[in-house]
Structure 1
Amino acid sequence: MADKEKAESKKILDWKTFRRLFDFIGAYKKYFYLLIFLTVLTAVFGPSRPLLIQFAVDNYIVTGDYPGLVNISILMVVILTFEAFLMYAHTYLSNWLGQTVIKDIRVQLYQHILRLRLKFYDNTPIGRLVTRNVSDIETLSNVFSQGIASLLADVLLIFAILGVMFYTHWQLTLVSLSLLPLLLLSTYIFKEKIKVAFDQVRAAVSNLNSFVQEHITGMSVVQIFGSEANESKKFKEINREHRKAHLKSVLYYSIYFPVAEIISAGGTGLLVWYGARGVLHEEVSLGVLIAFIMYINLFFRPIRMLADRFNTLQMGIVSMHRILTLLDDKDHIPNEGDYAPEHIKGDISFDKVWFAYKDEDYVLKNISFEVKEGETVALVGATGAGKSSIINLLSRFYEINKGTILLDGHDVNDYDLAHLRTKIGVVLQDVFLFSNSIKENIVLGNTHITRDQLLTSAELVGARRFIEKLPEGFEYNVMERGSTLSVGQRQLISFVRAMVYDPKIIVLDEATSSVDTETEELIQSAIEKLMKGRTSIVIAHRLSTIQKADKIIVLDKGEIKEQGTHTELLAKNGWYAQLHKMQYKEVAE
C-alpha cells in the first residue's frame, strides 16, 4: 500500500481523478462558473495599477497638470476599491465552494463506510479509515482554497501582465524577463524537493498519530507492565523523525524564497539600468519605466507561488484518489430483499451452511440445525470452534459461501436488512459504549423509542436502579468506551439496548462471562424474563449457564459434533460429556 501511494504522488496530475472531483461540484455549477468569472476579472484588473501610474506620470505629473492628477487619483481609488472587493469575493467564494463540496464528500464517504461489510473492517486498519475521513479530506479542501482557483488566477495574471508589457515596450519586457529561465529552474527544483519533503512529513504525521492513538488506548497495558520509559523512548524517536521531516521542508522554503527574491531583484535591476538609459535618451518615458518596475514585481510574485500551488493541487489529487478508491469499494452487503413482516415467529433453520472469512479457509463446515419458535439453543465449544460466526451469519454481518439460512421459512436474504436486524437482539461479551449519555447508548439515535419503553426495559433487566443513582441518571455521560462504568454495569446497559427493541430473537454471546457473581445473578434473572416467549441462541463457555436449554449444539473446528439436551449429551459420554468433566474438574480444583 505504501509503495502504491508513493507511485500516486509521483504522477504529475491524475486527470481521471481530477475529472471525478468535478463531479462533486456538479450541484454547485453556477457558483463554480461565478468563481471562474471572478478569477478572470481579477486577472484582467491585475495590470490596472501600473497602467494608471504610467498614465498619471506621463500625462499629468510631468506636465504639471494638477486637476488631471486629482481626477486620475480618484479613478485609481475607485478601481483599487473595486479590485479589493473582487479579491474578497474571489477568496470567500473559493473557500465557501471548497468547504461545501468537502462537506458533501465527507458525508458521502462516512455513509459509504457505514454500509461496508464487517469483513472489510477485518482487513482494513482503522487508522487508515480515520485518515481518509479527516486528513485526506482536509488536504483536499486546500485544492479549492489554495489550488485550482489560485493557480488559475496566478496563470491568468501572468499572461495578462505579459500581454500588457509586450504591447507597451517589447525591448523592456525582454530585458525584464532575462532572468526568468533561472527563476523557472529554481522553482522546478524547489517543487521536486518540497514534494519529497511533504511526503516525508505526511508519513511522519501518520506514524505519530498511530503511535499516540494506539498507546493512549492501551495505556493500562503500558502501566501494568511498567513500560512507560520504553514507550517514552519510542515516542521521542518518532517525534524526532517528525521534527526532522518538518525542518527539511522549512529548509527548502528558507533557501528557495531568498533565491527567488534575489533573481527577482536582479531582473528589476536590469530593468532599471536599461530603462534609465532609455529615459535619458528619451526612448522610454518615465511613466513606462515606473510601470515596468511595478509589472516585474507583479509578474514574479505569482511565479514564486506556482510551485506551492502546484504541490497543493497535486497532494489534493492524491488524497482524492485515495478517497475515491474507498468510495469505489463495493464490499458492502447487498440489501436487495424487501420482505419486512411486522411480526415474526422466530423459527430458525441452518441447512448445510459453509462459511469462510477468507477464500476457502472454512470456519463453518456443513452446519445444519433448527430452532423452533420460543426455544433456547446453546452453542458450546472451544475458542475458534465457530460459535460467534453462526450468529454473525444469522444477522447477515457476513455472507455465507454455501447453504441456506431460513427465518420463518424465508431465506434471510429475502428480508430487508435493517428490518431483519431490528428483530434480532444481540448482547456481546465485549460491550462497546460511545462517549455519550446512557440514554443515547441505549436508543442509538432512534427517535421512535419512547421514554416509557426505555424505563420498562431498564426495569426488566434490573439496570434502572443503578442508572438512576448516577449523577444525571439516564443523561449520565459514560465517556469513551464506557470507562466510567464497571464491566457489569456496561453489560447491563447492553441488555437494555437489546431489550428496548422488543426483539423476537435474542442472541447472548458470552453475556455473563465478564461479570461478578452478584451481577451475574441479576443478569440471569433478567435473561429468564428476556427469553420468555422468544427464540434464544446462547453462546457460553460455562456449561452451568445453559443446562436448561432446549437444545445444546457442540462445535469443534467449524463442525457440529453433537446435538441434544444436557441430559442426552451426558448420556452419550461424548464431546459434551468430556467438556463437562473438564469444567467440573476446574471448578473443584
Structure 2
Amino acid sequence: MSMTSLMRYLRPVRGRMAALLVLLLVTTGLQLINPQIVQHFIDTASGHGPLTSLIWLAGLYLAIAVLNQLFTVLVSYLGNDVAWRATNRLREDLVKHTLRLDMGFHNHKSPGELIERIDGDVTNMSNFFAMFITEVFGSFVLLAGILVVMFFHDWLIATVMTVFTLLSIGVMMWIRDLGVASSQMERQASASLFGLIEERIAGIEDVQANGNVPYVIYRFHKAMRAVFQTGRRAWMLRVIPWNATVILYTIAMSLVLLLGVHLYLTGHATLGTLYLFYQYTQMLNDPIEQLGNQMQEFQKAKSGMRRSSELLAQESSIVDGVEHTLPDGPLDVEFDHVNFSYHADERVLHDIHFRLGAGERLGIVGRTGSGKSSISRLLLRLYNVESGEIRVGGVDIKTLKLEALYRRVGMVTQDVQLFDGTLRDNLTLFDGRVTDSEILEMTERLGLRSWIDAMPQGLGTHLSAGGASLSAGEAQLFALTRVFLTKPSLVILDEPSSRLDPATEATLQRAVDELLAHSTGIVIAHRLSTLDKVDKIMVLRHGKILEFGDRVALAADESSHFAGLLRTDRQEELA
C-alpha cells in the first residue's frame, strides 16, 4: 500500500491530526520544563535558598506534571481516534471489495481467513497509526527539544547525545524491514488458524456425530504450532532494533555520566546541572525506546499493508456489463454451446445448447455432479463461461449490468441464508421501501400468510443469523417469499423441496405455481414429482445433455431417458 493510498484514508481526519500535533508540541514543552525546575530546586536547596522559593518550585513542578498527564491522555485519545477512523474506512473498502470478488476467489478463501485479513491485519495497522503520531512524531519532537536545550548547557555532552541519537535512528532505519516478511508469514499462519476454527465450528454436528474431535484437535494443534513458530521468529527479528538501541544507550549514558561528574568535580557544573544531564539523558532514552517499539509495530503494520494491498489488488473475473434493461414480462433463456470448468483440468459442462421460451417451465434432472446447479450459477453470473454464450431476454448476460440481471432473476435454493434481524428485514433484505402491506399481500397470494401470522411478533419477529430459528420447511417458504417480493421475470428453483415433508411440499408447490404464473421457471430437482407441471425436461449426465424436449412427449416415449427415470421412481415408491 503506497503513501498516496494511506493519505486517502488520513485526509478526512486531518483536522483531528492538526489538533493532535498542537497537543504534542505542548506536551513536549511541558516535559522539557520540569527537569529544569528540579535543577533550580536542587541548586536552591544546596545553596540554602529561601523556603518560599522551594515551595513555589515544588508547586510549579506538581502543576506542570498534572497538566502533562492530562495532555498525555488527550494525545492518546486523539491518536487512537484518528487511527480507528482512518482504518475503519480501509476495513469498509476491503469488505466492499471482497463482496464484489467472484465465487472462484471465495471458493479458495474460508470466511475465517477473510475475517482475519480484513480485521486482524488492519488492526495491526490501526495500532501502529494510533501510536505513530503520538509516539513516533512525538519522540522526534522531544529528541530535538532535548538536544537543543543541552547545547545551551554543554556542547560536548550534547554532542555525545546527538551521536547516540543519530546512531540509534540510523540502525533502526537500516534494519526496519528485517521482520516484515516474517510478520507476513505470522499473519498468514494466524489467518489459516481462524479459517480452520470457522470451518470446524460450522461443521460441528458432523465432527461430533462421526467422532472426529481428536482429528480436529490434531489439526488445531498443527495450526497453533505454526502460529507459535512463525510468531516467535517474527518477534525475534522485530526486537533486533530495540536491542541495538539498548546497547547504544548504555554506552551513551556511561559517557554522559563520566563527563557530568568530571564537570561537577572541576566546578564547571552545579549539582542541579549534573541532575539535569542525567535526567535529559534518561529522557532521551524514552523516545529512542519508543521508536524501537514502534519499529516492531511498523513491521507488523507493513505486513498488514502488504496483505491488504494484495487483497485490494485481487480482481474479479466477473466484469460488469453496460446494458441496463431487459424486455418486459417473462424472459426467454438460451444457452449457446456453453462450456464451463471450475478448474482448468476438469470440465463440468460440455457444449450445453438449448432454448427455453418466455413463460415456459424447464425441469432439469440428473445424478449428483451432473452439472445441474452449475447451470443455475452461470445464469446468475456467479462464474464466467469458458466458451459459448448465455442469453436472457435475447441479451448476452455478459453485456448486462449485474444489478439489472439480479433485479429480474430470482433463485431459491435448499440452503437459505438468514441475517440477524427481523423477519421483515430478512424478507426485504433490509430494503425499507417495501411496506408491510406489500409483504402481507404477496404472502396472501402465495398462500403463506398463515405462516407469517404464526410467528410470535409477525413481521417483527427476530431471526438469528444462519437459519437456526427456522425449520427446513419454514426456511424454504421464507426463501420463496423473499424471491416473490422482487417480482422476478425468471425464477430458478434449485431442489427447493428436497428436505420437506409431503404437507409442507404441497404448500410450497402451490406457492411455486403462483410464483411461476407470470415468469419463466427453471426447476432443478431429484424428486420427479416436483416436475409434474413443467413444460420441458432436460436430462444431464456428466455435464452433457442426454435429452431435452417436451415433458409430456418424453414421458410417453418408453425409450426416453426421462421415461426410464419415471419408471425407476415409481418402483422406489412401491418398494
TM-score category, normalised to shorter length:
0.7 to 0.9
Conserved 8 A contact 2:177-2:299: no
Query: Is 1:576–2:562 an aligned residue pair?
Result: yes
Counterpart of 1:221 in structure 2: which amino acid? D
Query: Is 1:551–2:536 an aligned residue pair?
Result: yes
Q: CA deviation at 1:509?
A: 0.6
What is aligned with 2:330?
345
Q: CA deviation at 1:314?
A: 1.5
Of residues 395, 398, 407, the one that matches 2:392 is 407
Q: Distance in 1 between matches of 2:184 and 2:375?
A: 44
Deviates more, 1:484-493 or 1:199-208: 199-208
Deviates more, 1:275-284 or 1:201-210: 201-210
Distance change (3 Å), C-alpha of 1:280 and 1:533: closer
Of residues 62, 68, 87, the one that matches 1:102 is 87
Deviates more, 1:245-254 or 1:117-126: 245-254
Q: CA deviation at 1:424?
A: 1.6
Deviates more, 1:53-62 or 1:324-333: 53-62
Deviates more, 1:350-359 or 1:285-294: 350-359
Q: CA deviation at 1:135?
A: 0.9
Deviates more, 1:270-279 or 1:324-333: 270-279
What is aligned with 1:479?
464
Q: Distance in 2 between matches of 1:199 and 1:366?
A: 44
Q: How does 1:398-437 map to 2 (within 5 A)?
A: 398-437=383-422
Query: Is 1:215–2:200 an aligned residue pair?
Result: yes
Of residues 146, 151, 162, the one that matches 2:136 is 151
Residues 152-210 of structure 1: CA distance to partner in whole angstroms, max 9, x if unpaired?
22233223323332442244457779999999999999999998997787566545534
Deviates more, 1:94-103 or 1:243-252: 243-252
Q: Distance in 1 between matches of 2:231 and 2:356?
A: 62
Distance change (3 Å), C-alpha of 1:537 and 1:320: same
What is aligned with 1:536?
521
Query: Is 1:470–2:460 an aligned residue pair?
Result: no
Distance change (3 Å), C-alpha of 1:258 and 1:502: closer
Q: CA deviation at 1:547?
A: 3.5
Q: How does 1:109-258 map to 2 (within 5 A)?
A: 109-173=94-158, 202=187, 205-206=190-191, 208-228=193-213, 231=216
Counterpart of 2:383 in structure 1: which amino acid? Y
Counterpart of 1:557 in structure 2: which amino acid? H
SS of structure 2 residue aligned to 1:538: strand
Counterpart of 1:281 in structure 2: which amino acid? T
What is aligned with 2:547?
562
What is aligned with 1:29?
14
SS of structure 1 residue aligned to 2:352: strand
Conserved 8 A contact 2:180-2:303: no
What is aligned with 1:514?
499
Query: Is 1:335–2:335 an aligned residue pair?
Result: no
SS of structure 2 residue aligned to 1:282: coil
Gapped regions of structure 1 (runs ≥ 5): 1-15
What is aligned with 1:64?
49
Of residues 369, 375, 378, the one that matches 1:384 is 369
Counterpart of 1:573 in structure 2: which amino acid? S
SS of structure 1 residue aligned to 2:466: helix
What is aligned with 1:6?
none
Q: Distance in 2 between matches of 1:339 and 1:218?
A: 41
Counterpart of 2:363 in structure 1: which amino acid? A
Deviates more, 1:452-461 or 1:226-235: 226-235
Q: Distance in 2 between matches of 1:314 and 1:148?
A: 16
Gapped regions of structure 2 (runs ≥ 5): none
Aligned residues: 574
Q: Distance in 1 between matches of 2:574 and 2:156?
A: 104
Distance change (3 Å), C-alpha of 1:51 and 1:180: same
Deviates more, 1:340-349 or 1:433-442: 340-349
Q: Distance in 2 between matches of 1:18 and 1:389?
A: 43
Residues 89-137 of structure 1: CA distance to partner in whole angstroms, max 9, x if unpaired?
4323222211111121111211222222222212323222111222112
Query: Is 1:283–2:268 an aligned residue pair?
Result: yes
Q: Distance in 2 between matches of 1:248 and 1:361?
A: 40
Query: Is 1:323–2:275 an aligned residue pair?
Result: no
Distance change (3 Å), C-alpha of 1:272 and 1:407: closer
Q: Distance in 1 between matches of 2:538 and 2:46?
A: 102
Conserved 8 A contact 1:347-1:409: yes
Counterpart of 2:355 in structure 1: which amino acid? E
Q: CA deviation at 1:488?
A: 1.2
Q: Distance in 2 between matches of 1:362 and 1:370?
A: 22
What is aligned with 2:490?
505
Conserved 8 A contact 1:147-1:312: no
Q: How does 1:254-273 map to 2 (within 5 A)?
A: none
Q: Distance in 1 between matches of 2:292 and 2:381?
A: 51
SS of structure 1 residue aligned to 2:462: coil
What is aligned with 1:12?
none
Conserved 8 A contact 2:372-2:540: yes
Distance change (3 Å), C-alpha of 1:240 and 1:297: same
Conserved 8 A contact 2:241-2:295: no
Conserved 8 A contact 1:348-1:407: yes
Counterpart of 1:308 in structure 2: which amino acid? N
TM-score (norm 2): 0.85
* Overall identity of the aligned pairs, in %: 28
Distance change (3 Å), C-alpha of 1:390 and 1:259: closer
Q: Distance in 2 between matches of 1:343 and 1:516?
A: 36
Of residues 431, 437, 442, the one that matches 1:452 is 437
Of residues 340, 363, 387, the one that matches 2:348 is 363
Conserved 8 A contact 1:377-1:536: yes
CA-based RMSD of the aligned residues comes to 3.9
What is aligned with 2:359?
374
Q: Distance in 2 between matches of 1:213 and 1:322?
A: 20
Counterpart of 2:516 in structure 1: which amino acid? M
Distance change (3 Å), C-alpha of 1:499 and 1:31: same
Residues 53-83 of structure 1: CA distance to partner in whole angstroms, max 9, x if unpaired?
3355557863725666666667656655664
Distance change (3 Å), C-alpha of 1:553 and 1:173: same
